[in-house]
């Protein structure tokens, strides 16, 4: 079996990973159906108190396909994922323009049924590029390996109306949400946002940092999430979220949200910073 240190060297030489230094394969993330996704990201080294807060910018570009993948790896198979699948699939994925933008470690699932360990964000030139990877002969040989390693995976695909740069900070928590709306949502959601503004100020700032437009028309699949609405919200921490949920003033407004959605997935995560 290949020595893990050699694997690290190979991955660091990969063009997708050339700016990352890897510390642990536990943060590796492969999107199960696309075959591209997968990254090994490092937790930051301890930061001296006098150092500024670490941050990383990710730009979601208009005209690109944004893939957000949620997954877990079977315990004990982190190294296997890197050695047998990850190091081989990345060069194939790069041929079709797949680009990793960043990853996050999940810290809490605050709503919904999707409960991953990790989140990864990827960019594709278009859906056709993703399909080319799925049809690639060499990639197909690797998919059974991937399927034996991941215990769960959910994928969602989005676009943005215009370029937006999101700054992820190490001292903040990020909520990735997906919402399935009721017919009443057009009327009730504006009321909810207006009336919830006051109680939110007590637990903020709570910042809506990215609105993601779901891509429609994709074939239905168990691994595919196709919400009506999605986005990323920045919180000070998850305690602030639970504080808001328990706030008496907010509870008076919450029914407006509940009547607006048939399903709401909310996942809190911290960004993985490269060294």
- What's the CA gap between 99 and 37, in Å, rounded? 9
Q: Does residue 255 have a pLDDT over 90?
A: yes
Radius of gyration for the alpha carbons in the chain, expressed in angstroms and rounded: 19
Token pair, residue 150, equals 């991941």
Q: Write the pLDDT tens digit of every residue in 182-235.
A: 999 999 999 999 999 999 999 989 999 999 999 999 999 999 999 999 999 999
Question: In the chain, where are the structural domains located?
Answer: 4-44+53-103+115-159, 164-271
Nearest Cα residue to 86 out of 171, 177, 11: 11
Q: Does residue 9 have a pLDDT over 80?
A: no
Question: How would you class 210 by CB atoms within 10 Å of its CB: exposed for 0-12, middle for 13-18, buried for 19 or more?
Answer: buried
Looking at CATH, the fold of the domain delimited by 164-271 is given as Alpha-Beta Plaits (3.30.70)
What average pLDDT does the structure give for the chain? Answer: 84
pLDDT of residue 46: 55
Token pair, residue 153, equals 């995976």
Q: Does residue 109 have a pLDDT over 60?
A: yes
Highest mean pLDDT among 23-27, 90-94, 170-174: 170-174
Q: Does residue 8 have a pLDDT over 70?
A: no
Q: Write the pLDDT tens digit of every residue in 47-89.
A: 555 678 999 999 999 999 999 999 898 988 877 877 898 788 8
- What's the CA gap between 117 and 108, in Å, rounded? 9
Q: Per the confidence metrics, is the pTM higher than 0.95? A: no
Higher pLDDT, 39 or 160: 160
Nearest Cα residue to 79 out of 3, 17, 177: 3
- pLDDT-derived band at 36, boundaries 50, 70, 90: very low
Q: Does residue 240 have a pLDDT over 80?
A: yes
**What is the percentage of the chain residues whose pLDDT exceeds 70?**
81
* Residue partners of 209: CB distance under 8 A and separation at least 6: 166, 174, 231, 232, 233, 234
227 and 179 Cβ atoms separated by less than 8 Å: yes
Lowest mean pLDDT among 25-29, 92-96, 120-124, 191-195: 25-29
CATH number of 4-44+53-103+115-159: 3.30.70.100
* Residue partners of 192: CB distance under 8 A and separation at least 6: 253, 256, 257, 260
Nearest Cα residue to 11 out of 41, 56, 53: 41
- What's the CA gap between 256 and 261, in Å, rounded? 9
- Same topology, domains 4-44+53-103+115-159 and 164-271? Answer is yes
């Amino acid at each position: 079996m290949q020595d893990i240190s050699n694997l690290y060297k190979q991955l660091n030489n990969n063009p997708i990973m050339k700016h990352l230094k890897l510390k642990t394969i536990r943060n590796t993330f492969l999107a199960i159906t696309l075959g591209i996704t997968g990254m090994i990201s490092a937790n930051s080294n301890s930061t001296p108190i006098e150092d500024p807060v670490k941050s990383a910018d990710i730009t979601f570009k208009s005209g690109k396909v944004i893939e957000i993948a949620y997954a877990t790896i079977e315990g004990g198979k982190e190294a296997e994922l890197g050695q047998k699948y990850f190091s081989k699939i990345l060069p194939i994925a790069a041929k079709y323009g797949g680009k990793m933008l960043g990853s996050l470690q999940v810290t809490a699932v605050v709503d919904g049924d999707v409960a991953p360990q990790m989140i990864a964000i990827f960019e594709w030139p278009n859906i056709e590029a993703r399909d080319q990877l799925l049809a690639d002969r060499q990639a197909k040989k690797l998919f059974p390996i991937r399927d034996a390693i991941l215990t769960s995976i959910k994928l969602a695909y989005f676009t943005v109306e215009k370029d937006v740069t999101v700054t992820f900070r190490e001292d903040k928590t990020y909520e990735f949400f997906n919402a399935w709306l009721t017919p009443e949502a057009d009327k009730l959601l504006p009321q909810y946002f207006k009336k919830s503004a006051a109680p939110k100020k007590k637990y903020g700032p709570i910042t809506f940092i990215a609105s993601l437009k779901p891509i429609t028309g994709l074939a239905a699949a168990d691994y595919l999430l196709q919400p009506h609405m999605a986005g990323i919200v920045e919180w000070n921490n998850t305690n602030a979220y639970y504080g808001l949920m328990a706030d008496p003033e907010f509870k008076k407004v919450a029914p407006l949200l509940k009547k607006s959605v048939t399903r709401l997935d909310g996942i809190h995560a911290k960004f993985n910073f490269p060294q």
